[in-house]
Structure 1
Amino acid sequence: MTTDISVPAAGPAPAAPASPTSRRRPSSGSSLGRYVLVRFLLMIPTVLILVTVVFFLIRLTGDPITAALGGRLPADQLAQRIHEAGYDRPILVQYFEYLGQILTFNFGTTITDRQPVVEVLVTYGGATLELVCYALIVAFAVGIPFGMIAAAKRDRWPDAALRVSAILFYATPVFFSGLVAKLIFSVWLGWLPVSGRANVRTEVALNRSGGTGIYLIDAIATGNPVYIQDVLLHAVLPALTLGLLTAGIFLRLVRTNVIGTYNMPYIDAARSRGVREGRLVRKHAYRPALIPIITVIGLQIALMLGGAVLTETTFEWKGLGFQLAAYLSARDFVAVQGIVAMIAIIVALTNFIVDIVAAFIDPRVRY
């Protein structure tokens, strides 16, 4: 007797369940591109909000022509100037027209001296850029090494002294520290110039050369060591005054992050291999602690540009901050509006660039 044993037809094998490791994460290139696109798109509403707030706050004082020239011009001439500038039209019409002008980098024309705001930005922007670069050098040179020292000497007297100094650097008003610095180093000791970007002879020579407007670069281009020395001496006090403001923030950030990385397992492993404490701080705990410094540079640029107004006024450093204070005194709100809008754009672009650099250094930022 034969037994009929039926064998099921062969079919496709059931698919194995996907393991967690088989799920692919997006490639680093796509994640970086998506991150860059998102950060760029977020920059647009940020600038738009800042420009809008400045526009409507200034319009609360009335039209800029009346604010600057009211009482100094006859009524008919004042009305004519207002009509020519378009300030007698509805406020929303003026607002959207102003947004259209900004898209073409037209920030208006100053009322007091009748020059395009863009020319003011080009003429005096180099001085402010130079001052901010000097201040950043001071902030890095003071904040990072002293932050490492404070972390290495944690809870001992050097750490306490440095933390108190950092608080004083940040809490002291820029104009006050600038006046004290001028009194000590210029008036009492006579070591450094009181004010200005250079003496008259150097300024005439550098302006005649028609350079970049950044005096140090222009002085180096001339090859004259006297000009270079004069420019650097004039930059010391403004750079220290503005740079120490940010150095206090960098010092505390570096200290906190070095102490945090000090407790990581790879630090314990290096210590168990006999690596000295000084090398642990310099080679192992220092580099990860720099990532938060990079991420806050954009915010510190905004702080420095705000502090540049007081610093440049205190030291008669003729940059955008100095001109902004002068236009505020003259109630030239068209110039004020244009300079503030340009500063907002610069700060937004700086933050965008810093975010991209941080994403390159630390891939975790992209996700």
Structure 2
Amino acid sequence: MTTDVADPPAALQVPRTRGGGSTLGRYILIRFLLIFPTVLILVTLVFFLIRLTGDPITAALGGRLPADQLAERIREAGYDRPIWIQYFEYLGQVFTLNFGTTLTDNQPVVQVILDYGTATLELVVYALVVAFIVGIPLGLVAAALRDRWPDALLRVSAILFYATPVFFAGMVAKLVFGVWLGWLPISGRANVRTELAIGRDGGTGIYLIDAIATGNPAYVQDVLLHAVLPALTLGLLTAGIFLRLVRTNVIGTYNMPYIDAARSRGVGEGRLVRTHAYRPALIPIITVIGLQIALMLGGAVLTETTFEWKGLGFQLAAYLSARDFVAVQGIVAMIAIIVALTNFVVDILAAFIDPRVRY
């Protein structure tokens, strides 16, 4: 029986075994249950690392309040109780999504997350788009031209993308494209006029959606121009990883029997890469997206600070500077939950794309 080269490789086909549905169900259940110990470990680490600095009230307000008022605030907040009681009380709050109240501006941490989280979400989406647009095509080019000078140049570029500190790349981008060339804005999410227009009716907090809703192309253009430099700075970090992953996995598929069969039928190398080696190379990309989301959320702190992008990372840096560890603890705990949920979704997607991961 002749193998059809258009068929996916056998390793990517679903094994015809009984109980496949139950196997997938068990896989999803196990991955879902792993969310809880992951969040628990991260929240515990953050809690005790914060407590190494002492109680949050003394850290934030020490030296600004008289000793008797400071002691009263500590007692009211319960920070004079044994550490293990504070720990279990905080765990109970976290699992009800109550992260406390900030010390510097007296806001519920959940409200801070809701107010500024949309800006960070928008930035991460932009950065992922940049990573896909840059990393995947260049990875395919590097694989097609393997062991030639363009391949070596692209591999070096991937290392530079990943190794360059985000804040340094951001400052260089601002200097070159904003100051010297004057092509792009270097701070904020939009100019004042656009912000007033898109925020007039409340909006979603995602500036691109709100700008599109106004029906004014000038506002959409302004929002996108402000997003270019932050998105490139953060997106190229992940693009380097995608480039190397795609290159490595496309080259690996050249040793598969179905590739040899296609080549023997006269299929060109370019078509081999685009048609037959491309899909298997995407599977590792899907599986590492969860890790890249965590990397981007960490990089968002520096990116948002560099470009004055008023998101969750920008606020986290401000609270760290003010030593408001209640806010810091709550924001980091929420980020841990987001990362755990993202990894869960990515694992499920990977199980549907590549059935081997659940067998």
Structure-2-length-normalised TM-score: 0.95
Residue type at the aligned position of 2:254: Y
Aligned to 1:184: 176
Aligned to 2:158: 166
Query: What per-residue deviation string (whole Å, max 9, x for no partner) do you get for residues 157-207 of structure 1?
Result: 110000000000000000000000000000000000010000011112222
Are 2:27 and 1:62 aligned?
no
Alignment of 1:25-44 (within 5 A): 25-44=17-36
State the shift of 1:151 in Å.
Answer: 0.2
Judge which range, 118-127 or 220-229, deviates more.
220-229
Aligned residue type for 1:281? V
For 2:110 and 2:141, locate their aligned partners in 1 and report how far apart those are by CA, in whole Å: 45
Q: Does 1:306 align with 2:298?
A: yes
Which of 186, 210, 220 is the equivalent residue of 1:228? 220
Query: What amino acid is the match of 2:20?
Result: S
Please list the CA deviations of residues 308-339 of structure 1 after superposition, one character each: whole Å capped at 9, or x if unmatched: 00000000000000000000000000000000
Secondary structure at 2:34's aligned position in 1? helix
Q: 1:202 aligns with which of 170, 186, 194?
A: 194
Structure 2: how far apart are the matches of 1:306 and 1:262? 36
Alpha-carbon distance in structure 2 between the residues aligned to 1:204 and 1:310 = 26
Aligned equivalents of 1:26, 1:131: Cα separation in 2: 44
The amino acid of 1:99's aligned partner reads: L
Pick aligned residue for 2:105 from 100, 106, 113:
113
Residue 25 (structure 1) shift: 4.0
> What do the CA deviations read for 1:78-131 (whole angstroms, capped 9, x no partner)?
111111111111111111111111111101100000000000000000000000
Q: Which residue of 1 aligns with 2:5?
A: none
Instruction: Tell me, in whole angstroms, the C-alpha distance in 2 between the residues paired with 1:259 and 1:27.
Output: 34
* Cα distance between partner residues in 2 of 1:315 and 1:180: 12
- Structure 1 counterpart of 2:10: none
Match of 1:348 among 340, 343, 350: 340
Q: Which amino acid aligns with 1:175?
A: F
How many Å apart are 1:265 and its aligned residue? 0.6
Q: Within 5 A, what are the aligned runs for 1:45-124?
A: 45-124=37-116
Pick the aligned partner of 2:124 from 90, 111, 132: 132
Instruction: Name the residue aligned to 1:315.
Output: 307
Show CA shifts across 1:121-156 (max 9, x none).
Answer: 000000000000000000000000000000000000
Q: Tell me the amino acid that sits aligned with residue 216 of structure 2.
A: N
Q: Distance in 1 between matches of 2:84 and 2:216?
A: 54
Distance 1:270 1:80 in 2: 77
Deviation of 1:41 after TM superposition, in Å, equals: 1.1
Which letter maps to 1:193? Answer: P
Instruction: Answer yes or no: is 1:143 the counterpart of 2:130.
Output: no
> Distance between the aligned counterparts of 2:254 and 2:282, measured in 1?
14
User: Secondary structure of the residue that 1:61 maps to in structure 2?
Assistant: coil
| Deviation of the 1:346 alpha carbon | 0.3
Q: Distance in 1 between matches of 2:214 and 2:276?
A: 43
CA separation in 2, counterparts of 1:136 and 1:26?
A: 38
CA distance in 2, matches of 1:114, 1:302: 28
Deviation, structure 1 residue 208: 2.1
Q: What letter matches 1:42 in structure 2?
A: L
1:26 CA drift (Å): 4.1
2:203 is aligned, of 196, 205, 211, to: 211
Corresponding letter in the other structure for 1:213: G
Who is 1:175 aligned against?
Answer: 167
Q: CA deviation at 1:77?
A: 1.3
The aligned residue for residue 11 of structure 2 is none
Ranked by relative contact order (alpha carbons within 8 Å, sequence separation 6 or more), the top structure is 2
CA distance in 2, matches of 1:25, 1:273: 33
How far 1:273 moved relative to its partner?
1.0
Q: Deviations over 1:31-78 (max 9, x none)?
A: 100000111111110100000000000011110000000000111211
Aligned residue pairs, count = 344
Q: Which runs of 5+ in 2 are unaligned?
A: 1-15
Q: State the SS of the aligned residue for 2:232.
A: helix
CA distance in structure 1 between the partners assigned to 2:94 and 2:128 by the alignment: 29
Equivalent positions of 1:250-329 (< 5 A) are: 250-329=242-321
1:241 to 230, 233, 236: 233
RMSD of the TM alignment (CA)?
Answer: 0.8
Q: Distance in 2 between matches of 1:86 and 1:203?
A: 41
What residue in structure 1 maps to residue 7 of structure 2? none
Task: Please point out which of 330, 349, 356 is paired with 1:357.
Answer: 349
Q: Which of 132, 148, 154 is equivalent to 1:156?
A: 148
